[in-house]
Structure formats: structure tokens, C-alpha cells
Amino acid sequence: MDFVTDMMPPDTTGEILAIGWETALLTLQIALLGTAIGGLFAVMLGLLAANNLTPEWVHHPLKVLLAIMRSIPVLILALVLVRAVGLGPFPGVLAIAIHSVGNLGKLFADECETAFEGVWEAMDSAGANWWQKVRFAVWPQVAPQIVSLTLYRLEMNIRESAVLGLVGCGGIGFYITLYQRSFNYTCMCTMVLVMLVIVLAVDQLSVQIRKRLT
Amino acid sequence: MAERNAPVILVEHLRVNYGRRVALCIDQLRFDRGECVGIIGPSGAGKTTLLRAIKGYVRPTRGKIEVLGLNWSMCDRSARRRVQRRIGLIFQQFHLVPRMTVLQNVLCGRLGSTHRLKSLFGRFSAEDKQIAWRAICEVGLQEQVHQRADTLSGGQQQRVAIARVVAQQPEVILADEPVSNLDPVLGAEVLTLLVEVTKHHDATLILNLHQPALAKRFVNRVVGLRDGRIVFDDLPSRLTDDQLQEVYLGYEPTPLYRDDSTAGRSMAMVGA
């Protein structure tokens, strides 16, 4: 149980808490931006990858592309991107965005494929074009699910983003490893606790939002 | 526009095959402006296929379908879309957007005529809104106008669907089993409304109906289909029990009691 006693009590000096707060905020921002960008592209690609909305030659290659995007773990994507675009939060945002597109895009496409076909035909019958059919026959049916899935992805991305500090993307993960390597376990404990509070807060927020959607 | 006494719909030497099964085989069928036609027949007789062929959703294997002066097999895509817009569809399951209000659902009937880009942002012109409002008044749903469609009863939902078609301002209304999901009283109300609306807008109504008794009450012409062929085409008053027998023989009493083995066989043939 040495590792527990080593971490006790967590260092609560103002300076350490300020570092924890600032870096946790950066971690949160990386996750938010990555999820927002990823979600936006996922909506577009997800609609095009739904087999009831587009012809085979559009949705089939897109499904493959999405599968490739989500098959690479965020951490490995970030490792590669840090080499490509340099250290800092930017490769982290990119890595999270890319993985989220692959993941959410597939879920959105699945969602569209279960949308009620009859409404599509009713809109077509009224003379709606493809965009109008997507907007009125598909979107109202899938939008609540899309918001809910994106929020869920955000929760996961915040945890992913915390780990990204390990490979040079900054944020709270960087300080957790820093303190761990310098045997400063009480400070490390503070960072872990700050992270815990943030993750729990966002989880609760997202639960509340998703509750209202249904 | 074609002259007044030209047929609204003209079907000639039509043949629609699903795989090797003949779904429709009609030598000649003609509907004139203002007619209210009921198409009766057992399940699988080709009623729905006929409606979908008239709408241009089912491609004939052979033969000609001319609607509002346009031959489906001899026209380009834009001409086809223009004419299709003048044909309204009513479905058995209503096919409303559940999360949208009555007004929003009815406005969807304007999608073919309104400004396309603005409609994507949910914006419709004052004229569109007026047309939609008049349609809602016609079906008597003024009080529910801002209610969500999925909170309405079945009869009210079908009224919304009718208002949506009215807002489309069609010249032909095709209704595929519009009252099969409703109880008899509501069904009769909805049919009365459909016939009224059709007359009021000088349109042509073609109804697919399971129940011949209902058909006789509301239409001024009955077409009986059996195995894709027309076995009766006359005034409803001339539809005798013997003729009903001919339409439904072997299928009676109702499709609810249909033998599943025959259903399975016909499915297999569709797949072949």
C-alpha cells in the first residue's frame, strides 16, 4: 500500500491547484474542440455513408474510410501527428477529431439507416429534393440521437485527451507524468483528483442534457 | 396543359413483372378529371403496384402509363419530377414526421414549390404558410396546429397527412389503404373528408381499399383487381355479391385469415 501513502495527503497549495486547473482546462478544450470538429464532419460523412440515402458508390467507400479512421487508437494517432505537426495541443485536437469522425460517422450512418423510410417517400412525393428529404425526413428522426451520441463521445474524448499529455500534447496528462517521473506523488495525486472532478462534472452535465432530449 | 376532356391517367397494355411473377396486367384503364375511383381486391392483387406505377415509382415491364399528359417511359427526369409533384400520395401509416408540429408537417407539402434553400432552414414564404393554414382549416385541425404530430390520434394524423397533400395542390390524389389503420367510424370520416377535398380542389382521387362496402359508399366508380387483372370496372351500384365473389374468391373472408403458406409462396416467387 506504499503507493497510496506516498500520495497522501494530496498537495493542495495554491500553485499546484492553479496548475491543475489550468492544464485540466486545456485538456477539456482539446476534447471539446476535437469532438466539435469531429462531430461536424461525422454528420456530413455519416449522412453520405448511410446506404438508404446515397448510391452504393458513395456510401461504400465512405464506410471503409470511416472504418479506417476509427480503427487507429487516439493515442497512436497523436503519436504520429505529434511527429507531423509538432508538439502542443493541435495534434491532440486532430487525433481526437479524426477518431471521432470514424466512430461517430459510423453511428450516425447506422442511425440514418434505421430512420423511417415512409417519411422519405412522403417528402419525395411532395416534390422535395435530396437536401430537403434529408432535412425533413431524416434529420428530425436522427437529430436527438446524434446529439446524444456526440455528448457520449465527448465524455470519452475527455478521458482520451487526459492521456494525450503522455505523448506531448500538453494538458493535465503531461503534468501527471511529469510529477510521476519526479517522484512527486502528492502533486500527482492532486492532478488525478482534479481530472476526476472534471470528468465527473462533464458526465453529469451530459446526462442532464441527454435526459432533456428524450 | 391538356384539354379538359383528355384523360388524367391513361394506362395501356401495361405489364409489371416482379421477377417471374406478373404483378399487373392491364389492357386499358382510363381515369378522367374529377373521378373518385375505388380500387378493391385481395392482398397481393396489385393495388399498391398500380398506384405506385401511376405515381411513377414502379417502372412498367411493358406498356404505357400516361399521367397528366406525360408518358412516364418517354420523358426526362425534370419533366417527370414536375409532373410527379402534381400527384399527391396518402399512405396507410400516414408517414408524418413525428417530432414536428402539425403546421410544420403540412408545410412539407410545399417543399416541391417553395424556395429550396430557405426551406432547409425551416423558412417558408407567407404564401406557403397561408396555403398550409387553409389546408389545416379544411381538415379541421386549427386547434392542434402547433401540437406535435406524434401526440395526435390516428384519425387526426391521417387528417394532417391529407392537409399535407392539399398543401401540395395536386391534380391527382392517390390514397393507398388510407383507412386500414383506423376504426370504421374514423375511417368513414377520413374518407368523407378525402372525397370532399378532392371535389373542392377539382382533383382526381384514386383509393385503394380493402373493404368493398366502404368503397361503394364513397366512390363513383369501382375497379376490381384480382391477380393483377381487372375483373370489374363499373358504377359502385352495379357491384353485386356475385361480382364481389369473383374479385375475392379464394381469398375470402378477409386478408386477416390469409393462409400463410400461400403468402410464403408468393414471397418466394417475388424473390425468384
**Residue at grid coordinates 436522427:** A142
Q: How far is CA A79 from the centre of its chain?
A: 17
Chain A CA closest to residue B119: A132
pLDDT tier for residue B3 given thresholds of 50, 70 and 90: low
Determine the pLDDT at residue B265: 36
Q: What separation in angstroms does the CA of A74 have from each of A1, A62, A136?
A: 32, 20, 35
Determine the pLDDT at residue B175: 94
**Residue at grid coordinates 432547409:** B120
Residue-wise pLDDT tens digits, B53-90: 999 998 899 899 999 988 888 888 888 999 999 999 99
* B91:A127 CB<8 A: no
Residue A134 near residue A44, CB atoms below 8 Å: no
Residue-wise pLDDT tens digits, B28-43: 999 999 899 999 988 8
Number of domains composing chain A = 1
Cα separation, B162 vs B139, whole angstroms: 7
Cα separation, B71 vs B69, whole angstroms: 7
Determine the pLDDT at residue B49: 92
Whether the per-residue pLDDT at A94 is higher than 60: the answer is yes
Q: What is the pTM assigned to this prediction?
A: 0.80
- Measure CB to CB from residue B111 to each of A116, A118, A123 and give the nearest one: A123
pLDDT tier for residue B253 given thresholds of 50, 70 and 90: very low
Chain A residues near residue B81 by CB distance under 8 angstroms:
127
- Measure CB to CB from residue A132 to each of B84, B116, B168 and give the nearest one: B116
- Measure CB to CB from residue B168 to each of A121, A126, A137 and give the nearest one: A126
- Measure CB to CB from residue A132 to each of B55, B95, B119 and give the nearest one: B119
pLDDT tier for residue A186 given thresholds of 50, 70 and 90: confident
Which cell goes with A112? 440514418
Residue B55: CA atoms inside 13 Å, Cβ hemisphere, count?
27
The 3-class secondary structure across B238-272, one letter per residue, is HCCHHHHHHHHCCCCCCHHHCCHHHHHHHHHHHHC
Residue-wise pLDDT tens digits, B86-111: 999 999 888 999 889 999 999 999 99
**Mean pLDDT, rounded, for B157-169:** 94
Walk me through the domains of chain B, giving residue ranges and CATH numbers. Answer: 1-86+219-272 (3.40.50.300)
- Strand B21-31 relative to strand B9-18, pairing: antiparallel
Q: Is A147 on the interface with B (CB under 8 A)?
A: no
* A116:B95 CB<8 A: yes
Determine the pLDDT at residue B108: 93
Instruction: List the single best residue of B51, B78, B91, B111 to mutate versus A (max A Cβ within 10 A).
Output: B111
- Strand B9-18 relative to strand B62-67, pairing: antiparallel
Residue A153 near residue A35, CB atoms below 8 Å: yes
* A126:B164 CB<8 A: yes
Whether the per-residue pLDDT at B212 is higher than 60: the answer is yes
Q: What interhelical angle do A172-181 and A139-164 show, nearest 10?
A: 20
- Measure CB to CB from residue B85 to each of A116, A127, A132 and give the nearest one: A127
- Measure CB to CB from residue A118 to each of B81, B88, B95 and give the nearest one: B95
More confident residue, B48 or B268: B48
In sequence order, the β-bridge partners of residue B38 are B207, B222
Whether the per-residue pLDDT at B176 is higher than 80: the answer is yes
Whether the per-residue pLDDT at B257 is higher than 70: the answer is no
Determine the pLDDT at residue B31: 93
Residue A10: CA atoms inside 13 Å, Cβ hemisphere, count?
14
Determine the pLDDT at residue A214: 65
Q: How far is CA A128 from the centre of its chain?
A: 34
Domain that holds residue A11: 2-213
pLDDT tier for residue B147 given thresholds of 50, 70 and 90: very high
Q: What separation in angstroms does the CA of B237 have from each of A165, B42, B195, B209, B216?
A: 83, 20, 18, 16, 7
CATH number at residue A19: 1.10.3720.10
Other beta carbons within 10 angstroms of residue B84's beta carbon come to 22
More confident residue, B10 or A169: B10
Chain B residues near residue A126 by CB distance under 8 angstroms:
85, 88, 108-112, 164-165, 168
The average confidence (pLDDT) of chain B is 85
Q: Is B144 on the interface with A (CB under 8 A)?
A: no
Residue-wise pLDDT tens digits, B149-161: 999 988 899 999 9
pLDDT tier for residue A132 given thresholds of 50, 70 and 90: very high
Residue-wise pLDDT tens digits, B177-190: 998 888 888 888 99
More confident residue, B271 or A212: A212
Q: Is B150 on the interface with A (CB under 8 A)?
A: no
How many CB contacts within 8 angstroms connect chain A with chain B? Answer: 69
Which cell goes with B127? 404564401
Q: How far is CA A99 from the centre of its chain?
A: 8
A9-13, A123-127, A156-160, B91-95: range with lowest mean pLDDT: A9-13
Instruction: List the single best residue of A116, A124, A125, A133 to mutate versus B (max B Cβ within 10 A).
Output: A125
Q: pLDDT exceeding 70 applies to what percent of chain A?
A: 99
Which H helix or E strand runs over B223? strand B221-226
Three-state DSSP class for residue B207:
strand
Q: pLDDT exceeding 70 applies to what percent of chain B?
A: 90
Whether the per-residue pLDDT at A138 is higher than 70: the answer is yes
Residue-wise pLDDT tens digits, A34-60: 999 999 999 999 999 988 888 889 899
Calculate the CA dihedral of residues A173, A177, A180, A185 and round it to 10 degrees: -20
Q: Is B173 on the interface with A (CB under 8 A)?
A: no
